[in-house]
């Protein structure tokens, strides 16, 4: 029995199969976004989470109603892992009125408040203090709800990362910092950004419990995230560093001149979905069953994509909707315009 084998006993086989299906859905979704973007159907420049699926799925398994999740520019997988509707998520990325944010946010700004996805920021590091604030609100209300924020290793170069760690430690905020360390800050490798090899090292001086794990190992992520979430629910920040690989470029269309074909091939060989598949087969799950789950995932994305592509575009007359919530301000703007 492998170590992964013992990890599998923590849950029912059905749970692992659901996670496998979710990871397949995210992969199929990202592949579809890539196709649509290449075909010129996606405004802007979407950033794909291809290859990082195990982190989103393994962490989300521990979250529930009332928890607040913040992500960044590479957040499609985080939304889907929380259960966001595939069609509404894709419609948002296509800029449609039926999208999660009525086409006002797009790929980098997915919000699905009903699922606990409270924000996605395109400014690297900008989401970190927001999650700390959500954690403060939960703490202040006396609940056991927590905040989770996903960020990349690139965010550790921002001052606000260090400010937020200090504040979270000082106020004992229930916030889980999840670093998806894919080795690249946009187009530049980590060794050119920092002399600190592991992001977890930044947590140590603040007394924040931390762990560096293999982020491509779903059972490992699930187990480590469970430890982390329990610590956070009991009133301590936690930094979980997940080592992973970005199998796409920084954004769709990035020619990736900065990394070799060999490096990319090595990263592909560590695909978290393929790895989980092999482990599940070793645990006695039939290949047919796994193939069927992958086909269903692909089919659900294809169906959602067909619907989202034919969904109505926003009415240009509504362009001024949602700037302010207060009716006083809306009225003042109307008088003034």
C-beta closer to another protein: residue 14 or 325? 325
Smallest distance from another protein to CB 206, Å: 11
Count of beta carbons in the 10 Å neighbourhood of residue 18: 15
Residues between 21 and 60 with contacts to another protein, criterion CB under 8 A: none
Q: Which is nearer to another protein, 119 or 215 (CB)?
A: 119
The length of the chain, given as a count of residues: 337
| Binding of another protein by 315 (CB under 8 A) | no
Q: How far is the CB of 212 from another protein (least distance, A)?
A: 24
State the first-to-last Cα distance of the chain, in angstroms, to the nearest integer.
71
Nearer to another protein, 117 or 290 (CB): 117
Kindly tell me which of 6 and 166 has the beta carbon lying closer to another protein: 166
Residue (of 33, 70, 61, 66) closest to 49 by Cα position: 33
Task: Report if residue 160 touches another protein, rule: CB under 8 A.
Answer: yes
Beta bridge mates, 68: 147
Which of 10, 38, 170, 282 binds another protein (CB under 8 A)? It is: 170
Residue 160 or 264 with smaller CB distance to another protein: 160
CB 100, min distance to another protein, A: 7
Among 38, 266, 281, 323, binds another protein (CB under 8 A): 323
Binding of another protein at residue 328 (CB under 8 A)?
yes
Residue position matching structure tokens 């690297």: 124
Per CB under 8 A, does 111 bind another protein? Answer: yes
Cβ partners under 8 Å of residue 108, min gap 6? 44, 46, 47, 72, 73, 75, 120, 121, 122
Q: Cβ atoms within 10 A of the Cβ of 2, count? A: 11
Q: Does residue 166 bind another protein (CB under 8 A)? A: yes
Residue 206 touches another protein, criterion: CB under 8 A: no
CB of 262 or CB of 328, closer to another protein: 328
Angstrom distances, CA of residue 143 to CA of 94, 112, 129, 136, 174: 37, 21, 19, 10, 10
Using rule CB under 8 A, residue 163 touches another protein: yes
The number of helix segments (H) and strand segments (E) in the chain equals 12, 8
Does 335 interact with another protein (rule: CB under 8 A)?
A: yes
Q: Is 159 in the site for another protein (CB under 8 A)?
A: yes
| Residue 187 binds another protein (CB under 8 A) | no
324 lies in the binding site for another protein (CB under 8 A): yes
Hey, which bits of 121-234 come out as E strands? Answer: 147-152, 175-181, 184-185, 188-189, 210-214
- The nearer residue to another protein, 77 or 103, going by C-beta atoms, is 103
At its nearest, how many Å lie between another protein and the CB of residue 9? 36
150 phi and psi angles, rounded to 5 deg: -95, 135
What residues numbered 113-132 form the site for another protein, per CB under 8 A? 113, 118-119, 121-123, 126, 128-132
CA 194 to chain centre: 23
Q: Does 276 bind another protein (CB under 8 A)?
A: no
Burial 252-273 (b: 16+ CB within 10 A, else e): bebeeeeeeeeebeebeebbbb
Asked whether position 312 contacts another protein by CB under 8 A, the answer is: no
Closest to another protein by CB, 14 or 140: 140
Residue 139: which residues within 8 A CB-CB, separation 6 or more?
171, 172, 173, 174, 235
Query: Which residues have a Cβ under 8 Å from the Cβ of 222 and sit 6 or more positions away?
Result: 7, 10, 11, 19, 58, 61, 62
Query: Under the rule (CB under 8 A), what is the footprint of another protein?
Result: 68, 70, 99-105, 109, 111-113, 118-119, 121-123, 126, 128-138, 140-141, 147, 159-160, 163-164, 166-167, 170-171, 321-326, 328-329, 331-333, 335-336
């Amino acid at each position: 029995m492998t170590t992964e084998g013992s990890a599998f006993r923590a849950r029912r086989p059905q749970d692992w199969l659901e996670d496998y299906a979710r990871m397949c859905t995210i992969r199929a979704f990202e592949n579809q976004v890539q196709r649509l973007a290449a075909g010129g159907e996606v405004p802007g420049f979407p950033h794909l989470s291809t290859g990082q699926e195990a982190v989103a799925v393994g962490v989300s398994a521990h979250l529930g109603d009332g928890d607040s999740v913040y992500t960044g520019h590479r957040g499609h997988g985080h939304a889907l892992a929380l259960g966001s509707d595939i069609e509404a998520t894709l419609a948002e990325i296509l800029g449609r009125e039926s999208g999660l944010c009525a086409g006002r946010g797009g790929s980098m700004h997915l919000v699905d408040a009903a699922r606990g996805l409270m924000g996605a920021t395109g400014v690297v590091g900008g989401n970190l203090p927001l999650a700390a604030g959500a954690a403060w609100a939960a703490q202040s209300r006396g609940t056991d709800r927590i905040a989770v924020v996903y960020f990349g290793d690139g965010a550790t170069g921002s001052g606000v990362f260090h400010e937020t760690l200090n504040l979270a430690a000082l106020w004992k905020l229930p916030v889980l910092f999840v670093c998806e360390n894919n080795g690249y800050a946009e187009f530049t490798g980590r060794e050119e950004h920092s002399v600190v090899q592991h992001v977890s090292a930044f947590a140590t001086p603040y007394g924040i419990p931390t762990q560096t794990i293999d982020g491509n190992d779903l059972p490992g992520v699930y187990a480590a995230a469970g430890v982390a979430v329990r610590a956070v629910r009991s009133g301590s920040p936690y930094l979980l560093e997940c080592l992973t690989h970005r199998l796409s470029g920084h954004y769709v269309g990035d020619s990736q001149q900065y990394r070799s074909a060999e490096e990319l091939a090595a990263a592909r060989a560590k695909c978290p979905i393929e790895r989980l598949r092999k482990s599940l087969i070793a645990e006695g799950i039939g290949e047919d069953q796994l193939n069927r789950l992958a086909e269903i995932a692909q089919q659900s994305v294809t169906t959602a994509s067909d619907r989202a592509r034919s969904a109505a575009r926003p009415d240009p007359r509504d362009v001024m909707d949602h700037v302010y919530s207060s009716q006083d301000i809306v009225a003042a703007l109307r008088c003034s315009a």
